[in-house]
Amino acid sequence: MVILRDAGSPAMSAAPPCGRQTGPLTPARQFDWDINDTSVPRVSRFDEFCEWANDHCQFVYSPDSEEAKRHSSGWAMRNTNNHNVNILKKSCLGVLVCSRGEQCVLPNGERVHLRPAICDKARKKQQGKPCPNRNCNGRLVIQPCHGHCGYPVTHFWRHTEYAIYFQAKGRHDHPQPEAKSTSEARRSQVNGKRVRGIAMLLAGRDSKLVKRENMSRDLDLTPPYMCPEQPPPLIPDSDKGYSNTTCSCPPFECICTPSQQPALSYHPAHHLQQPTADFWSQPGDQHQQQPPSHPSAAMDQSSYFPSPAGGDYQQCTFDGNSNVLQHHPHPYEYPAAATVVENDAFGQIFQTETPIRGSGGECGALLAAPPELYEPQPNTPPTFTELCEVKSEFSEVVKSELQHQQQQQQPWGNPYDRHYPRGGGGGYFEQQQQQQRLDEPMMMSEEDDSLATVPSEDARVMPHHQHHYLAAPNHYHHQVESAALHHGHYEALMGASDHFSFHESISRHLHH
């Protein structure tokens, strides 16, 4: 069954640079679907893959999109157990920055924004290592993400036979980490190759990002086209009982107003491109659930894909762990994705003639480290091997120095931690935190589980452990000329606020 939407519908799609699609720009975007919906709309055109999705946004990718199949993202997203095999949830790990913060400036004026390792073990190793900026004696620390109501931004991925649905919740309150391709390139180049674009690397930028940013500028894309500050809420206000200037942010159900938007918000060139939903598909007669009562969803509401999550809308949800499965003919699993080739970044990375060694001393404090480690060697840009050796050698030095600092009651802290000593702080928790830094690099996040919320009613319908991905034919792709679907679902955010207490898990770790 194919349901055409009015071509002139207010729901017409916008055409941001990321997830680009043809169509007029429309300031008001609305989301016609939610990742948790019982059914999601079929679309006739897909979004271009958006590597730096930010803010509350949604995309529908082709099932053939390698990036989408890999659930890749420029942000460092780690898997989260939401106890729902049909919807993959990932949460942001933030960015690896220098503990000296603003004081640490690379020769090219950029700052160190490394990509946190997804693996906990690897991430632990990263933290506390000396800042790769030769002019700096800071250490690498994680700047956690608080972009989703104080919690890390979350990404949700859902696969159907016909498309891959993506939904992001939250706006990153930290700089972009280096792109994955950059990080991978660096790892693969650790053995000996001379690194020319080190500043670029350390700043966490690659050609793709730069390219996108440039594209963004060229297109003069500004909110609301990129990321509306106040896009329509996913759930009609009337349904949730909020005014349209508020949001619901569980578990606090905060009432945010536009003025409460965090001042610090990073807007990569991301885009709220929505695919054109030409019709709503009906995969079968099962689970005909009432579709969302979106004003914009003026279509046959009986033709939806059943949702693996089932149930109704939830906004700013943090996922439950109900075991919800198959309720839907196209479970989440799919064949292993093919390798994604991202080589242009690599090429460009090593073209910049910016040695890591700078001339100045932007970062003043000295560290009890072997002087040679920091001694300027103006004519010999370091290789990554050197860099890693330095890191490695220095890690022990750092460790002992940290212990010394602790003894001296002058622990170094992560200025990005919510419990970073500010003013007169220094309570029990903070002391514990400091201890944690010394004994064991802080494990920032692990798999958090959450799920794209799964209403329990529908949850029980799904059998457990059926992981079959049905190859997605593209046959519907050209069936209908577009009407549009788009959106701009957005939930007002609290953003990164100091009033949020630091993660309980950290505290748990501290007690060990």
Partner DNA sequence: GACTGCGGGTAAA
Partner DNA sequence: TTTACCCGCAGTC
Binding site for Zn ion (CB under 5 A): 92, 98, 100, 104, 131, 133, 136, 138, 145, 147, 153, 172
Whichever of 131 and 483 has its CB closer to Zn ion, that residue is 131
If contact means CB under 5 to 8 A according to the sort of partner, which of DNA, Zn ion, none does residue 368 touch?
Answer: none
Q: Which residues contact 427 (CB under 8 A, 6 or more apart)?
A: none
> What's the closest the beta carbon of residue 289 comes to DNA, in angstroms?
16
Distance CA 43, CA 279 (A): 7
Candidate ranges 233-241, 404-412, 428-436, 445-453; the one touching DNA (CB under 7 A): 445-453
| One residue of 72, 99, 273, 433 binding DNA per CB under 7 A | 72
Q: List the structure tokens of 52.
A: 């730096």
Pick one of DNA, Zn ion, none as the site partner of residue 98 (Cβ within 5 to 8 A by kind).
Zn ion
Helical H segments across 153-261, by residue range: 180-188, 198-202, 207-218, 237-240
Region of residue 253 (left: phi > 0; alpha: psi -120 to 50; beta: else): left
Contact mark string toward DNA, 326..365, x via CB under 7 A: ------xx--x--x--------------------------
Q: How far is the CB of 251 from DNA (least distance, A)?
A: 6
Q: Does 152 bind DNA (CB under 7 A)?
A: yes
137 binds DNA (CB under 7 A): no
For 6-17, the DSSP string reads PTT-TTPPP--S
Cβ atoms within 10 Å of 338's Cβ, excluding its own: 10
Q: What distance, in Å, lies between the first and last C-alpha atoms of the chain?
A: 58
Residue 197, both tokens: 């674009």
Instruction: Note whether 90 binds DNA by CB under 7 A.
Output: yes
Partner interacting with residue 153 (select from DNA, Zn ion, none; CB below 5-8 Å by kind): Zn ion
Place of tokens 């946190």: 116
Give the shortest CB-378-to-DNA separation in angstroms. 31
Tokens describing residue 114: 């490394």
Rule CB under 7 A: say whether 228 interacts with DNA: no
- Shortest distance in whole angstroms from residue 447 CB to DNA: 3
Is there binding between residue 241 and DNA (CB under 7 A)? no
Based on the shown chain and the rule CB under 7 A, indicate whether residue 467 belongs to the binding site for DNA: yes
Own/partner pairs for 505-512, CB < 8 Å, 24+ apart?
A: 505/443, 505/445, 505/446, 506/433, 506/436, 506/442, 506/443, 506/444, 507/429, 507/432, 509/436, 509/440, 509/442, 509/443, 510/429, 510/432, 510/433, 510/435, 510/436, 511/432
Among 321, 343, 380, 474, binds DNA (CB under 7 A): 321
Ranges within 259-288 binding DNA (CB under 7 A): none
- Who contacts 259 (Cβ-Cβ below 8 Å, separation ≥6)? none
Q: Which of residues 289-318 bind DNA (CB under 7 A)?
A: 314, 317-318
Which amino acid would we find at residue 5? R
Give which of Zn ion, DNA, none residue 250 binds (C-beta under 5 to 8 Å, depending on kind).
Answer: DNA
Instruction: Supply 464's token pair.
Output: 């457990």
Which residues of this chain interact with DNA, rule CB under 7 A? 70-72, 78-81, 83, 85, 88, 90-91, 117-119, 121-123, 125, 151-152, 180, 183, 187, 250-251, 314, 317-323, 332-333, 336, 339, 443, 445-451, 453, 455-456, 465, 467, 503-506, 508-509, 512
